[in-house]
Amino acid sequence: MRKSLTYIIALLIILLAISAGCSKQAQKTDDNTNPVKVTNTVNLNPLVENIISEKYVNEMRCTKKDIEQIINTAASYGIENPFIPLRGISTEYIMEVREEPDALAIIYPHFSIRESIKDLMSSYETEEKHDVKLTIGTATWVTVQGQEKLFLKLNGINVSISSAKPFKKEDFEKVAESLVEIKD
């Protein structure tokens, strides 16, 4: 009987220690960084709300977690309202949101988008470039080391769209024309 009581007391002490450790970890995460929660604190663009789904919408899929990560990462670059495409080249989903030295990068299966308040084009030695008129404004096609990239500026944010895979320029232009600000 005494052995059972000792085991029960030991088990209670362990459970108390674990629960105390968990509550301290939860308190630690609030270290003056205020990650955005899409649920209540951000008014999303209704067009963006339409593609937030576990299913594909217009061959595009993203989750609330993806949107939160994009907003939080963009903030570290001074971008208050980042852009996201509503259409892709093919069936697309956000594979990764990455911090690069000078830009937020959103990686999809068939292309990637970089966003920065800095001029993205100036960091490349361009071989060739020409402007193209899109429904959202003028964009510039630039050839860098034999690879074409599309650059444009929207509301003070420099955007580039590129791919390591072969593509049609018209496909990238459609992606660019579908760019919308995440927040309403």
∠ Cα 80 147 78 (to 5°): 10
pLDDT at 123: 78
The torsion region of residue 98 among left (phi > 0), alpha (psi -120 to 50) and beta comes to: beta
Q: Tens place of pLDDT for every residue, the chain, 184 residues?
A: 566 656 566 555 655 455 544 433 333 333 334 555 554 567 888 888 777 766 655 578 889 999 999 999 999 999 999 999 999 888 899 999 999 999 999 999 999 999 999 999 887 888 899 999 999 999 999 998 888 999 999 999 999 999 988 889 999 999 999 999 999 8
The torsion region of residue 81 among left (phi > 0), alpha (psi -120 to 50) and beta comes to: beta
Top-tier CATH class for 46-181: alpha beta
pLDDT at 29: 32
pLDDT at 48: 81
pLDDT at 33: 45
Torsion, Cα 125 131 133 139, to 10 degrees, reads 20
How much is the pTM?
A: 0.73
How many of the other CB atoms lie within 10 Å of CB of 71? 25
